[in-house]
Amino acid sequence: MASNRPVRVRFAPSPTGMLHIGGARTALFNWAFARSCGGKFILRIEDTDTARNTPESLQSILDSLRWLGLDWDEGPDCGGDFGSYYQSERLPSYQAAIARGLQEDWLYRCFASAEEIEVQRTLAREAKCNWRFDEASRNLNQADAAARAAAGDPFVLRFRMPMAEDITFQDHIRGTVTFASQGIEDWVAVRGNAMPTYNLVCALDDAAMEISHVIRGEEHLVNTPKQILIFRALGVPEPEFAHVPLILGKDGKKLSKRTGDTALGDYIRAGYAADALFNFLCLLGFSIDDKTEIFTREELLEAFTLKRISKSGAIFDTDKLAWMCGDYIRRMSLPELVSAVLPYCIEAGLVAQDASADEALQNMVGAFQERFHLYSEFPQQAAGLFGALPDWDDQARKALAGEGAALATSQLADILEKANWPPEDFKALVVTVAEDLEVGLGKVMKPVRAALTGTLGGPELERILQILGRERVLRRLRELPTAARS
RNA sequence: GGCCCCAUCGUCUAGUCUGGCCUAGGACACCAGGUUUUCAUCCUGACAACAGGGGUUCGAAUCCCCUUGGGGUCACCA
What is the ipTM for the molecules in this complex?
0.95
Q: Do A393 and A445 lie in a common domain? A: yes
In a domain, A118, yes or no: no
Omega before residue A422 within 30° of 0, cis:
yes
pLDDT number for residue A445: 93
Distance A255 CA to B35 C1' (A): 41
* Region for A210 from its dihedrals, namely left if φ exceeds 0, alpha if ψ lies in -120 to 50, beta otherwise: left
Tell me the per-residue pLDDT of A327-336, one tens digit each, with 9 for 90 and over.
999 999 999 9
Give first-to-last CA distance, chain A, whole Å: 76
In a domain, A436, yes or no: yes
Q: Do A417 and A439 lie in a common domain? A: yes
A22: CB within 7 A of chain B nucleic strand:
no
Nearest partner of A171 among A284, A39, A311, judged by Cα = A311
Stronger pLDDT, A337 or A390, i.e. the higher one: A337
Residues A457-461 have a mean pLDDT of 94
d(CA A456, CA A105): 77
Write A50-57 long-range contacts (CB < 8 A, 24+): A50/A88, A50/A195, A52/A14, A52/A16, A53/A14, A53/A15, A53/A16, A53/A88, A54/A15, A54/A16, A55/A15, A57/A15, A57/A16, A57/A17, A57/A18
Q: Do A275 and A291 lie in a common domain? A: yes
Q: Please name the residue whose C-alpha is nearest to the C1' of nucleotide B25.
A: A290
- What are the catalytic residues of A? 257
Nearest partner of A138 among A210, A186, A100, judged by Cα = A186
Final residue of a structural domain among A386, A411, A427: A386
Q: Please name the residue whose C-alpha is nearest to the C1' of nucleotide B42.
A: A370
Q: Do A486 and A392 lie in a common domain? A: yes
Q: Do A345 and A278 lie in a common domain? A: no
Q: Do A252 and A325 lie in a common domain? A: yes
**What is the greatest pairwise CA distance in chain A?**
108
Q: Which helix (H) or strand (E) holds A55?
A: helix A55-67
d(CA A17, CA A26): 16
A50: CB within 7 A of chain B nucleic strand:
no
Residues A402-423 have a mean pLDDT of 88
In a domain, A381, yes or no: yes
Q: What is the mean pLDDT of chain A?
A: 93
Q: Do A424 and A480 lie in a common domain? A: yes
A179: CB within 7 A of chain B nucleic strand:
yes
- Nearest nucleotide, CA A14 to C1': B78
Omega before residue A60 within 30° of 0, cis:
no
Please check whether residue A452 is in contact with residue A462, taking contact to mean a CB–CB distance below 8 angstroms: no
Please check whether residue A129 is in contact with residue A227, taking contact to mean a CB–CB distance below 8 angstroms: no
pLDDT number for residue A425: 86
pLDDT number for residue A484: 60
Radius of gyration of chain A (CA): 32
The domain in which residue A477 lies consists of 388-486
Q: Is the pLDDT of residue A390 over 80?
A: no
In a domain, A340, yes or no: yes
In a domain, A313, yes or no: yes
d(CA A344, CA A382): 12
Work out how many domains chain A is built from and give that number. Answer: 3
pLDDT number for residue A483: 63
A46: CB within 7 A of chain B nucleic strand:
yes
Distance A308 CA to B23 C1' (A): 28
Q: Which helix (H) or strand (E) holds A314?
A: strand A314-315
Final residue of a structural domain among A368, A386, A404: A386
Q: Is the pLDDT of residue A421 over 70?
A: yes
**What is the CATH classification number for the domain harbouring A439?**
1.10.10.350
**What is the CATH classification number for the domain harbouring A291?**
3.40.50.620
Q: Is the pLDDT of residue A158 over 80?
A: yes
Q: Do A308 and A377 lie in a common domain? A: no
Query: Which amino acid is it at A62?
Result: L
CA dihedral A190, A193, A198, A202 (to 10 degrees): 70
Q: Do A354 and A321 lie in a common domain? A: no
Q: Do A392 and A475 lie in a common domain? A: yes
Residues A354-363 have a mean pLDDT of 85
Final residue of a structural domain among A290, A315, A331: A331
Q: Which of chain B's bases lie under 7 Å from a protein CB? A: 1-8, 10-16, 25-29, 36-42, 70-78
A390: CB within 7 A of chain B nucleic strand:
no
Residues A369-376 have a mean pLDDT of 97
Strand partners for A410: none
Compute CA distances A363 → A80, A353, A380, whole Å: 47, 17, 16
Q: Where are the alpha helices (DSSP H) in A271-332?
A: 274-283, 297-303, 318-331
In a domain, A260, yes or no: yes
In a domain, A352, yes or no: yes
A1: confidence class by pLDDT, cuts 50, 70, 90 = very low
Tell me the per-residue pLDDT of A17-52, one tens digit each, with 9 for 90 and over.
999 999 999 999 999 999 999 999 999 999 988 888
Please check whether residue A170 is in contact with residue A209, taking contact to mean a CB–CB distance below 8 angstroms: no
Nearest partner of A405 among A452, A364, A373, judged by Cα = A452
Q: Which helix (H) or strand (E) holds A340?
A: helix A334-347
Q: Do A458 and A381 lie in a common domain? A: no
In a domain, A283, yes or no: yes
Tell me the per-residue pLDDT of A233-287, one tens digit each, with 9 for 90 and over.
999 999 999 999 999 999 989 888 877 789 999 999 999 999 999 999 999 999 9
Q: Is the pLDDT of residue A2 over 60?
A: no
Q: Do A410 and A444 lie in a common domain? A: yes
**What is the CATH classification number for the domain harbouring A369?**
1.10.8.70
Residues 244-273 of chain A in contact with strand B via CB under 7 angstroms: 245-246, 248, 251-254
Which of the residue ranges A43-52, A63-72, A76-85 would you say has the lowest mean pLDDT? A43-52
d(CA A390, CA A410): 17
pLDDT number for residue A304: 97
Distance A280 CA to B6 C1' (A): 22
